[in-house]
Amino acid sequence: MIAGTALVTPFVHHVQAAVRIKDIAYVQGVRENQLYGYGIVIGLQGTGDNSQIFKLTSQMAVNVFEKLGVLMDEKDFFSKNTAVVMVTTNIPAFARPGDKLDITLSSIGDCKSLEGGVLLQTALQGADNEVYAVAQGALTVGGYSIEGDAQSVRKNIATTAHISNGAIVEKEIHTTFLKGQALNIVLRDPDFTTATRVTELVNNIYPNSSVAVDAAVINIRPPQGFQSDDTIVKFISTLEELYIKTDSVAKIIINERTGTIVADQHVRISTVAVAHGNLSITIKEEKEVSQPNMLGAGETRDMERTDIQVSEEKSRLTVLQEGASISDVARALNVLGVTPRDLISIFQAIKKAGALHAELVIM
């Protein structure tokens, strides 16, 4: 790491460590699904929706009472202790009825805070409009909002909340990961070289069983003895535990807001000269009084005096040799004593000069 900077990089080239296939890929079809629904939160301390302005709150409250056998006119509902919320969650693959899910609640109306609220039973549906889970429970809010007539205090966001294990799965989403007699392994970071290595590794163990469809998908046909329902899981488990050396495009990631720079070991540069110098400009404004001598006819008056000083540190020209790695760049730039902000400008300039052989990602 460059001393005093946020450049994260190894100083020594090393053989890339092998990783498990399960850490870089997933079985196609084994995925989460999003659920959502809208419900009503009760028990708020006067921080809920204004039911006379946001009519949906009063409509939902009246509907709740009607389900309980209590008839009420919507015009008669006056309360700021309730709020309409949108409830969202993700249901994982293979979730079974009775499993519990964490949920997030977000205010829809003009609610000031959900603190202290309780969500009434809310159905959660998928993109197919089928209900897969039901949510209910006391809210946990990570902030607060307090308002008075002349002042208000707020910390974090009080109009979103969470309920741990707040939803119960009622219906299973069927997961299909076999297409005919084959399955697809999908790389999370598509790369032709990595896909080829995975294919070769699997074929070395199970001959002629896999083929790389593209940079992301490897199609694998389970061999004899692993094609039944009770053995396919064992076969997938065996694939997941195989170790492979991944490959990737050389990248430098730059976050201009924080000054963070992250570079991988594949970054290389051509011969380039880098100069670093700091220009310092100081502008000082001072007021002075002009006092004429006793015999003069002038008047006393205030005067503005501006003093401008410009100084530039001596620049040092550093030559980075062709084929240099990012660790070589780090050592060379350390000689210049650059800051993270300077590094960002230097890398951008080297890239524009065509000497940086890596993808530059600006966040």
pLDDT tens profile 234-271: 999 999 999 999 988 888 888 877 778 888 878 887 77
Q: How many domains does the chain have?
A: 3
- What are the distances in angstroms from CA 212 to CA 29, 142, 189, 208? 17, 46, 14, 12
Q: Mark 246-258 as b/e (b = at least 16 C-beta within 10 Å).
A: beeebebebeeee
Q: Which residue has the tokens 């195989």?
A: 242
Does residue 2 belong to any structural domain of this protein? no
Which structure tokens are listed for 269? 């540069």
**Residues whose CB falls within 8 Å of the CB of residue 345, separated by 6 or more in sequence, listed in order:** none
Q: Please report which confidence band the pLDDT of residue 158 belongs to, taking 50, 70 and 90 as the band edges.
A: confident
105 and 92 in a common domain: yes
C-alpha span between 351 and 341 (Å, rounded): 16
Q: Which residue has the tokens 């006056």?
A: 78
Collapsing DSSP states into helix, strand and coil, what is residue 124? strand
264 and 187 in a common domain: no
Q: Maximum CA pair distance of the chain?
A: 117
Question: What mean pLDDT do residues 200-210 have?
Answer: 95
212 and 128 in a common domain: no
E strand or H helix that includes residue 194: helix 192-205
Domain housing 275: 251-280+313-362
Count Cα neighbours of 22 within 13 Å in the Cβ-side half-sphere. Answer: 9
25 and 46 in a common domain: no
Backbone φ and ψ of 111, nearest 5°: -60, 140
146 and 261 in a common domain: no
333 and 256 in a common domain: yes
Q: 61-78, pLDDT tens digit by residue?
A: 888 888 888 888 777 788
Q: How far out from the chain centre does Cα 74 lie?
A: 42
C-alpha span between 282 and 103 (Å, rounded): 55
Backbone φ and ψ of 40, nearest 5°: -125, 135
C-alpha span between 232 and 117 (Å, rounded): 47
Residue of 171 and 60 predicted with greater confidence: 171
164 and 38 in a common domain: yes
Does residue 285 belong to any structural domain of this protein? no
Does residue 300 belong to any structural domain of this protein? no
Q: Provide the pLDDT for residue 6.
A: 42
Q: Give alpha helix (H) positions in 31-104.
A: 55-67
Strand-strand pairing, 83-91 and 217-220:
unpaired
Backbone φ and ψ of 26, nearest 5°: -140, 160
Question: What mean pLDDT do residues 325-344 have?
Answer: 68
Please tell me the pTM assigned to this model: 0.70
Which structure tokens are listed for 63? 């509907």
